Chains A and B, each alone.
Chain A
Amino acid sequence: MTRPAAGAPLSRVDGWLKVTGQAAYAAEHDAHGAVRDVAHGVIVTSTTGRGRINGIDTRAAGALPGVLTVISHLNAPKLPYQPFRGVPDPARGGGERLRVFQDDQVRFFGQPVAVVVAETLEAARHAAALVRIGYDGERPATDLASPAGPPNKLETYQRGDVETALRQAHTRLTRTYRLPREQHHPMETHATIAHWNGDRLTLWDKTQNVLNTRADLAAVFGIPPESIRVISPFVGGAFGSALRAWPHVTIAALAARQVRRPVKVVLTREQMFTGTGHRPVTDYTLTLAAGQDGRLTAALHDISAATSTYEDYRESLTVQGQMLYATSNVRQSYRSIPLDISTPTYMRGPGAATAAFAIECAMDELAHELGIDPIDLRLRNEPGQDPSTGAPFSTRRLRECLRIGSRTVGWDDRDPEPRSARDGNWLLGTGVAVASYHTLRAPAQALARLDADGNAIVQCATSDMGPGTYTSMTQVAADALGLPMAGVRFQLGDSTMPQSPPHGGSLTMASVGSAVQDTCDKLRLQAIRLAVEDPGSPLHGAPANDVAVENGRLYLRDDPGRGETYRQLLARADLSHLETPGGYTPGDEVERFSTHAYGAVFAQVAVDESLGLVRIRRVLGVYDAGRIINPKLAESQAIGGMVGGIGMALLEHAVTDPRDGRIVNANLADYLVPVNADVPDVNAIYLRGDDRTADPIGVKGLGEVVIVGVAPAIANAVFHATGRRIRSLPITIEALL
């Protein structure tokens, strides 16, 4: 039997297209010939953080050669902006999305206030610099401590009797942890090309969800979704920033309608800071109570996170606090604080990465206080079932993750005493943290077609922002169809394709993968049925269940010599193709079982105490993520996530100037992310196995869990090295001096 494609460390099927420039990204579809006569839109953004526009002077801009129009609230048409809730809904707590050019209000620094449309990008950029806008501005609210209005509705959770447990606890500690505003910053900046043909709109867009962009824009313009087509075959990274249609998508469509020709809008790197969301500033105060034996008796979580004044953004900040450790008494309160900022959004490991920093640092502090090994403390609090629901875990192999990781890094040789290891000027430390991310699943559909040449095309309107969806889906399809990888083409990123959930939340492999599996199983069976019912087939009369397909050839399992190829089958039947839809809908296993991906993250750091430097020596993640469809892609996912976690721990921080709300370091020279020199030894290990309860193909999701737990592991390693707790990220030089 040939080796299955799924499980093999295959290279990306679209790698060649990408490295040779043939992959068309959102801003490149004109250069690739998909659309002609494109005009260029450059957005002008507000330079005050709160207030109103009192005048716009576009004379100099409008007079430049090549400028077609300057659109602002003064001349923009009123757009229907029908009520719309995204999937997922970033404004879960309520509110309405920012409406572009519909009024004179400025809600944050960097808000789009005008767009210049010109024949060339150069003319548009020059003209944008000449637009003069006057403001009645006031000092914006940009700090959690002094909000723009009353806090939004409190989200609470409670089980047991926290007060009594706290009173009776042997050991209690209360700590506040702070996360700064972080930005996604994929390599590809966001871009949209909009083209109207009558009432029909085509959008070439950078998006993790073509269907969401379609639905959102349909609501903005008050037109049926069917009259909009969104095309997004390649996405150069996103990390969540492309899960919703941001204002620039509407701006491109609006401008294209006004100038009656296609318009392209590409955000600048600076505009990405305020135009495509961010991980919100979060204060997380955690009280843990434990007995002398280290068993947690109570946990009290008090969380405040930033949102905008116009939308109440909420993320999954409370999940881990409810299910990670066995604790009878838990209370959580989560409030979002309205500030004069753009609405935050999902950023890799949303909520979970933030909560894990607080919970896993506090666990380390508790371990130190009790004199219990940090791994041991976690093992003592390992629950037998989900403590929040009582549901059994579909799989939970955290113990194995911890055991394998501790063996690999030599944890037992570590002197638990802080400041006990040194290498010249460097103090050395090793820290651990646990990671988890809830396994999301959602309905998905797919379409598979087998052509007369024996090759197959499989489609779903999903996206591939980098994890390798093209490749992993091709692997699943190839195995199900009994074709080699080269015989299957997987297509995505087009709203005319079968329905997909958003490409985010680590749900694509579970949901779309299961849909592809189902669809391709159906197509294979359709071909087998055709053969066994065809008197002309060598397989005629055989039970369908006894027929297998390999390398495009159907054969009898017990008599492999008896068979024929897909090509022969379709040629004899005179069929141009076979085609079948299929899909996946999660069942009640979602409620009956508690399903999460888990990980144990180990960080080894060196700290030059005199100079305040923290340098990573090693990061190891051991993951229980269910089945791994492609170890090579998984390795990339994990390394990327862990590098993101290193950035979170040591570097990333969008700085807001409180006087006007400007992001001071709105560029990639000053907003620091790790470079190669910062990530010398980063590795992932995956537990072998699968989780067939979770979903038909046995995966638990990988992209999110791999950033969770990295920052606390590093902070705990810094404590082990120096004896100092840094509870506010990033861990900077000045914090350690």
Chain B
Amino acid sequence: MYPFAYTKPADTRAAITAGARGGRYIAGGTTLVDLMRETVERPDTLVDIGGLPLREVQATASGGLRIGALALMSDVAAHPRVRSAYPVVAQALELSASPQLRNMATIGGNLLQRTRCAYFRDVTAACNKRQPGSGCAALEGHNRSHAILGTSDACVAAHPSDLAVALVALDAGVHLQGPDGERGLAMTELLLRPGDTPDREHDLRPGELITAVEIPPHPRPLRSGYLKVRDRQSYEFALTSAAVVLHLTGGVIRDARIAAGGVGTVPWRLDAVERLLAGARPSEQLWAQAAAVAADGARPLRHNAFKAELLKRTIERQLRTVGGTR
């Protein structure tokens, strides 16, 4: 670990000022501190935002939900409104990490957590994300856990968040506050694909702070759920995962929102699957047909080719679980 300065601002404005000067925000610290110990992250200054009043979870006037960026994963997972209206979010959270980590980690931090790519996390390996231009050790290395969608020749690291997958399916966005004021971004705008610049992971400007996540209103009734596939039953990142959100009336799927995790460099929205589902009636055949296109465009690597097939099966299973066959 490299030495660093530590500051704990009293309010959001002071925090943003410190952040704009180059300070790194720290809240739960469940990912940043690990990476500092490995010298992957070497911030000069840590700006502790843990005391800022950004923990509230509340319904919006339009019928959506606003989740403070500093709300704890465990609190959001247990929130009655989240559990009743957005099971996909509660499940994604409860299938993440361990209870100890969920008691520390915040919603904002969860979205910005960094990849589990072993070469990224090992400063002695080549990594374009950590050190632009140094190469990608994972491309020809051990890449079982890596992405098959949204990859580039510069980076194949998978985005690790389960929550982000559920939020992408729900068309959620983030509220930002920065030196130049407030703005908002869709989840899909916040997180960037690697392209030629895998070191740029998000579209935040210097000093900008995520203050809240907002889930827009959705037509009711809304069925949703999250399935996570991994080697052990708990405390492991996803090999594949599926967030399925369906609006069904009169036996017809009016609206389908499907996203996948563990397979993309960012949480992966499956538009092609959604198109096959919209306007159709649930059936075993439909689930199979729709899931069959889930891995279209996948670029498998040496050790993760199985993910393409596993992704289709994961999506199909979760479509059946959420949508039933009536």
Contacts and interface: CB of A to CB of B under 8 A. Distances in A.
B142 A664 contact: yes
Interface stretch (A90-98, A255-263, A542-550, A649-657): A649-657
A676 B234 CA distance: 8
Contacts of A31: none
A515 B310 CA distance: 58
B304 to A, nearest CB: 9
Interface string A533-577: 000000000000000000000000000000000000000000000
Interface string B115-145: 0101101111100000000000100111011
Interface string B34-45: 000001000000
B128 to A, nearest CB: 17
Nearest to A616: B233
Interface string A122-144: 10011001000000000000000
B317 A610 contact: yes
Contacts of B236: 669, 672
B232 A737 contact: no
B234 A613 contact: no
A678 interface: yes
Nearest to B119: A664
Interface in A358-410: none
Nearest to B2: A126
Interface string B298-326: 00000000100110011001000000000
Interface in A329-375: none
A103 B210 CA distance: 53
A131 B306 CA distance: 40
B126 to A, nearest CB: 10
Contact of A678 (B2, B123, B140, B232): B232
Given A672-B236, A676-B234, A733-B229, A657 B306 contact: no
A611 B232 contact: no
Interface residues of A, number: 33
Nearest to A679: B233
A664 B118 contact: yes
B43 to A, nearest CB: 14
Contacts of B310: 611-612, 733-734, 737
A314 B236 CA distance: 34
Interface in A644-680: 650-651, 655, 657, 659, 662, 664-667, 669-670, 672, 674-678
B180 interface: no
Nearest to B234: A677
Contact of B313 (A129, A610, A615, A675): A610
A345 B317 CA distance: 43
B306 A733 contact: yes
B141 A664 contact: yes
A675 to B, nearest CB: 5
A675 B142 contact: no
Interface residues of B, number: 33
Given A126-B1, A662-B122, A672 B232 contact: yes
B159 to A, nearest CB: 16
Q: Looking at chain A's contact residues, is the secondary structure mostly helix, strand, loop, or mixed?
A: loop
B3 interface: yes
A651 B230 CA distance: 11
Q: Looking at chain B's contact residues, is the secondary structure mostly helix, strand, loop, or mixed?
A: loop
A659 B122 CA distance: 15
A47 interface: yes
B235 interface: yes
Contacts of B39: 129
Interface string B155-172: 000000000000000000
A125 B1 contact: yes
Interface string B212-224: 0000000000000
A732 interface: yes
B312 to A, nearest CB: 10
Nearest to B307: A734
Contacts of B314: 611
Nearest to B121: A667
Interface string A10-53: 00000000000000000000000000000000000001000000
A602 to B, nearest CB: 21
Contacts of B317: 425, 610-611
Interface string B225-245: 000010111111101000000
Given A611-B229, A611-B314, A737-B309, A122 B140 contact: no
Contacts of A667: 121
Nearest to B303: A734
Given A670-B116, A737-B310, A615 B229 contact: no
B229 A613 contact: yes
A655 B235 CA distance: 19
B232 A677 contact: yes
A735 to B, nearest CB: 9
Which interface residue of A129, A651, A734 has the most chain B CB atoms within 10 A? A734
Interface string B70-106: 0000000000000000000000000000000000000
Interface string A395-436: 000000000000000000000000000000100000000000
Given A613-B229, A733-B310, A734-B306, A657 B142 contact: yes
A670 B3 contact: no
B290 to A, nearest CB: 16
A388 to B, nearest CB: 39
Interface in B239-285: 239
Interface string A725-737: 0000000111001
A441 B152 CA distance: 60
A312 B233 CA distance: 38
A112 to B, nearest CB: 15
B118 A670 contact: yes
Nearest to A668: B235
Contacts of B142: 655, 657, 664-665
Contact of A47 (B124, B140, B229): B124
Which interface residue of A655, A666, A669, A672 has the most chain B CB atoms within 10 A? A669
Contacts of B140: 659
Nearest to B138: A664
Nearest to B310: A737
Interface in A485-509: none
Contacts of A666: 122
Nearest to B122: A662
Interface string A160-177: 000000000000000000
Contacts of A651: 231-232
Nearest to A736: B306
A612 B2 CA distance: 42
A125 B123 CA distance: 14
A269 to B, nearest CB: 10
A664 B124 CA distance: 11
Given A126-B2, A733-B306, A675 B141 contact: no
Closest CB pairs A-B (n = 6) = A677-B233, A734-B306, A677-B234, A47-B124, A664-B142, A664-B118
Interface of B: 1-3, 39, 116, 118-119, 121-125, 137, 140-142, 144-145, 229, 231-237, 239, 306, 309-310, 313-314, 317
Given A666-B122, A672-B231, A737-B306, 8 more contacts: A129-B39, A129-B123, A611-B313, A651-B232, A664-B119, A667-B121, A669-B116, A733-B229
27 contacts: A47-B124, A125-B1, A610-B317, A612-B306, A612-B310, A615-B233, A651-B231, A657-B141, A664-B118, A664-B141, A664-B142, A665-B118, A665-B142, A670-B116, A672-B232, A672-B236, A674-B232, A675-B233, A675-B235, A676-B234, A677-B233, A677-B234, A678-B234, A732-B231, A734-B144, A734-B310, A737-B310
